[in-house]
A = this chain, B = another copy of it.
Amino acid sequence: MSQVGIVGIGHSKFGRRDDVTVAELAFEPFVEAVNDAGIGQKDIGATIIGASPVYMTQRSIAGPITEYLGLNPQPVWLTEAACSSSAAALRTAYALIKSKMHDIVLVLGVQKMLENPTSEILKIMGRTGDVQWEAPYGTTFANYYAMYAQSHMEKYGTTSEQLAEVAVKAHHYGIKNEKAMFQKEITIEKVLESRIIASPLHLFDCCANADGSSALIVANEEQSKRLSDTPIWIKGLGAATAPFSLLTRPELSTLTSAVNASEIAYKQAKVEPREIHIAEVHDCFTIAEIMAYEDLGFTERGKGGEFVKSAYIGGKLPVNVDGGLKAKGHPIGATGCSQVYGIVQQLRGEAGKTQVNGAEVGLTHNVGGHGQYCIVHVFSR
């Protein structure tokens, strides 16, 4: 079976981007990615855009983006799976290439969230949860993850200090990533002193809403080898869903979508969790990273809180050493491809100050909503 590779990557500065339209924002990683791959617009057979359309003033953003990037008349459409929208776009691109419908596909994650006031963002995001039965009780996104944290603490004795260390680690590496929204170190004390958003989550346990974009050039095996000396291969793809309403979930301290998606991806890639050298996991809240360690099999169930010490560079398995969602910011549609950007840099050996020596196998874990979607990819050089 022929392989599918990544041969170009790009990443905008994440943060408040009132300086650009959504099309201009998409242009930034696009230029980096096509230059990286050494291709032009005419080489791109199709474009898949990962985004959550509900935050943006411009509707159906694939139209203006395609025009602005000079990609007409090639086909384009958008994929949405809440916060895992651009992982769904990469999965679509893989299928388009593997099916031989296209040789080279552009995957673009892009999101402008900060056109809305925070109150509006909270409302939109809360409505990704159950509008009929849960939202009437005031559920917001932080509420869902606070319940997961309460459950994890009660069941396994996970502490607020362990949660806080996830944020400390993220900021520690975020200052080494110039594309990250936040550029300062924090301490466990600072996290614990920050105000409670939804108990037990403090402000600094939560990632920030952001604007941002990211791009990948994905190609079939022949084109990958022609365009790059170091194509990064997509070795395993797993996607799964979990019940959307909390009342139907038997357990709140795990995301079964992540367990199922990673099992499928590991099996296809023929690797075990212990063979992963570097990972990007979906740390929308600090508890989410701790749950990911367990759901992905990086550590035993219940040991996620302890594992954060092993997730630094030099530890057992470095995780989110680009700063993660916590320090980079979380422009919903751009996050999935941003994770892949980080892994491709690592597997190419181009990660600079945060390079993990000998990184040859990497993983991304992109969660949508409060766990109703999860998409996992395994990569190797």
Contact = CB atoms under 8 A, between A and B. Distances in A.
Interface in A55-99: 57-60, 62-64, 66-67, 71-82, 84-85, 88, 91-92, 94-99
B52 A373 contact: no
Query: How many copies, total?
Result: 2
A7 to B, nearest CB: 19
What's the dominant secondary structure at chain A's contact region? mixed
Contacts of A46: 239
> Interface extent on A, as a size class?
35 or more
A53 interface: yes
A95 B94 CA distance: 9
Contact of A88 (B77, B84, B130): B77
Interface stretch (A9-17, A242-250, A296-304): A242-250
Nearest to A131: B58
A101 B101 contact: no
Nearest to A87: B77
Nearest to A370: B63
The 9 closest A-B pairs by CB, nearest first: A75-B239, A98-B99, A63-B244, A63-B372, A95-B95, A77-B88, A77-B81, A99-B99, A59-B127
Interface of A: 21, 46, 52-54, 57-60, 62-64, 66-67, 71-82, 84-85, 88, 91-92, 94-101, 124-125, 127-128, 130-132, 237, 239-245, 248, 256-257, 260-261, 368-369, 372-373, 375
